[in-house]
Amino acid sequence: MKILSNNCGAPQHLSRRTLLCAAGLGGLAWLTPVAHWLGRAQETAPRGAPAKSVIMLWLAGGPSQLETFDPHPGKPIAAGTRAIKTSVKGMHLAAGLPRVAEVMDELTIVRSMVSEEGDHERATYNLKTGYRPVPALVHPSIGAVICHQLPGDGVDIPRHVSILPGQWPARGGYLGAGLDAFKVYGTIGRAANMTARVQPPRQKKRLEALRVIEQNFARGRRANLDEQTTLHNVTIKKALRMMSSEQLDAFDVSKAPVRTRATFGDTDFGRGCLAAIQLIKTGVRCVEVTLSGWDTHAGNHTGHATQNAILDPAFAALIRELRMRKMLDHTIVICAGEFGRTPKINRLDGRDHWPTGFSIALAGGGFRAGHVHGATDPSGESKEPDAPIKVAHIHGTVLHALGIEHDKEMMTPLGRPMALSKGKVISSLLR
């Protein structure tokens, strides 16, 4: 295992203990068993117990670092964007995030992210998987890796969930379609398509008829094959168990206290953030909540004012609620988009794609609180930020904080060994 100290202390050799890994359940295909990829994960505890789950706030379109987490007030590149003080002395955020500024003492801001992808689809793939896209292989998203590597006993609902999914939701990749994110498009009421469309007596008759078909299918085949062990039957049993599970209530935020819901904002994204907490508490491993609309090639300042008004209360309430419920220490929060925005304003008062020197925010799960890593050139002339961090290194560090051996090799369907992450652990980001 490779650990980078970034000159903030020597790497430490850490104890390991082996955990049994179980295949995760994600997407509509989560019902398909993926036992052929069951493996063993090693758990490394850099500081106390490892984190257990991840909430990713996905800012689709690429938010501007200058109007969010890396303002340069008074400089030409700011183009009028102001900065505000935060709960950490000397640290500032853009003026559009006053509530997030109040919880800065729980955040790690990385201002020196570097990606090699400047196209929306390719960059999304890169941020969600830690790898650049290649023609012959689909890499698993970080949520799929987590569900594959960490056990999930007692969870009847999908353990990998995407709320308000965008154009390119998280996938299971070579770990199997059973680890695709389960897509949810609303958070009022239970998840859609989870209730039988007929009354119980008719549903019972349908299942009895289905069993006859299963028995006929199994008859005459291998001696060890019967209607109880067919893949289809296993899938049906899992579906029925989920449909009757009280855990489905975790998708519904309508029963949460009115005051609690109000703090997240009266938006689908805000409600999605509250649902993410409920799902994580139920045992879901990874929840991705998408806020689209950050692609500001025109009207950058107006666009970010609109988006920040949605992000600010939801992100801040998410951190506060996790802290209040004592869930923050074992839940990693990632707030990121596929890349940043150019320092220069274009002719349409917008900012274009900028894959070098952009920002992401991290919190909980052993990450340092009230910390800023890296810096960008306030003049906007240099593309290279100070103390750059590659996308893969964030993946390596997050997996490490979860107690997962980030460089563990898995065998792909093509017989090719592939590490869960090719990144390194950035120890200076962790407590």
- pLDDT category at 49 given cuts 50, 70, 90 is confident
- Global pTM value: 0.84
Residue % of the chain over a pLDDT of 70? 82
Which residues have CB under 8 Å from 317's CB, separation 6+?
99, 263, 264, 265, 270, 273, 274
Q: Which of 139, 119, 136 is nearest to 128 (CA)?
A: 139
Pairwise CA distance, residues 418 & 229, whole Å = 31
Q: Domains of the chain, with CATH numbers?
A: 3-121+131-189+252-285+294-429 (3.40.720)
Identity of residue 402: L
How do residues 157-216 score in pLDDT, each as one tens digit?
Answer: 999 999 999 999 999 999 999 999 999 998 776 666 666 667 778 877 777 787 777 777
Beta-ladder partners of 13:
none
- pLDDT category at 88 given cuts 50, 70, 90 is very high
Q: Which secondary-structure segment (H or E) carries 4?
A: strand 3-4
Pairwise CA distance, residues 386 & 397, whole Å = 19
> In the prediction, which pLDDT does 158 show?
92
Q: Which secondary-structure segment (H or E) carries 60?
A: strand 53-60
* Sign of the alpha-carbon torsion through 310, 190, 171, 420: positive
How do residues 280-307 score in pLDDT, each as one tens digit?
Answer: 999 999 999 999 999 999 999 999 999 9
> In the prediction, which pLDDT does 281 show?
96
Pairwise CA distance, residues 311 & 69, whole Å = 12
How do residues 207-246 score in pLDDT, each as one tens digit?
Answer: 778 777 777 766 666 555 544 555 666 667 767 777 768 8
Pairwise CA distance, residues 278 & 284, whole Å = 9
Q: Which secondary-structure segment (H or E) carries 286?
A: strand 286-292
Instruction: Give, as one character, the DSSP assignment of residue 375.
Output: B
Q: Are 318 and 347 in contact (CB under 8 A)?
A: no
